[in-house]
């Protein structure tokens, strides 16, 4: 079922130039198949019939691509479920130093929930905070 997000809030996230270029290319490919696939309310990654893709099929396709990447890149590449890519995104944002508020907005979480769920990936932040304060007060 397709419906509004659980929190009923529309989420707008910034995209980098490379991703925008890829999405524009994808839109051109879809337009060649039929203009109905690129109308204002069309699903970006919908099926060729214009409807949303079946979640089971989408998950299976994701898994197949992941297994192909594992064969190519080696067995150390973890195999995750499609939904786990959301957690991977959140973890990568936090490890890159993205503020919790911004990371939470991107994945549609409350910052308090995000801190509770992902605090384990930020173990060195106490040390970083201590060093930052020391840099401010030590002359």
- Give the DSSP H or E segment for 122: none
| pLDDT-above-70 percentage for the chain | 97
Q: Closest Cα to residue 46, out of 58, 61, 56, 59?
A: 58
Residue 116 placed within a domain:
no
- The predicted structure's pLDDT at residue 139: 58
pTM of the predicted protein model:
0.71
Residue 16 has pLDDT above 90, yes or no: yes
How is residue 32 written in tokens? 């060649």
- Between the two ends of the chain, the Cα-to-Cα distance in Å is 60
- The predicted structure's pLDDT at residue 1: 57
Average of pLDDT values for 132-137?
90
Q: Closest Cα to residue 95, out of 131, 76, 120, 73?
A: 120
Q: Work out how many domains the chain is built from and give that number.
A: 1
Confidence of residue 45 (pLDDT cuts 50, 70, 90): confident
Residue 35 placed within a domain:
yes
- Give the DSSP H or E segment for 38: none
Residue 85 placed within a domain:
no
Residue 19 placed within a domain:
yes
């Amino acid at each position: 079922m397709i419906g509004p997000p659980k929190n009923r809030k529309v989420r707008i996230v910034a995209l980098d130039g490379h991703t925008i270029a890829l999405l524009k290319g994808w839109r051109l490919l879809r337009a060649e198949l039929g203009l109905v696939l690129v109308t204002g309310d069309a699903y970006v990654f919908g099926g060729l019939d214009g409807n949303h893709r079946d979640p089971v099929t989408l998950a299976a396709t994701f898994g197949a691509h992941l297994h192909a990447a594992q064969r190519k890149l080696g067995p150390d590449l973890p195999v995750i479920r499609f939904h786990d890519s959301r957690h991977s995104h959140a973890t990568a944002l936090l490890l890159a130093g993205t503020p919790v508020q911004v990371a939470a907005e991107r994945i549609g979480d409350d910052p308090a929930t995000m801190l509770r769920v992902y605090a384990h990936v930020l173990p060195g932040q106490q040390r970083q905070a201590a060093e930052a304060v020391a840099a401010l007060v030590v002359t």
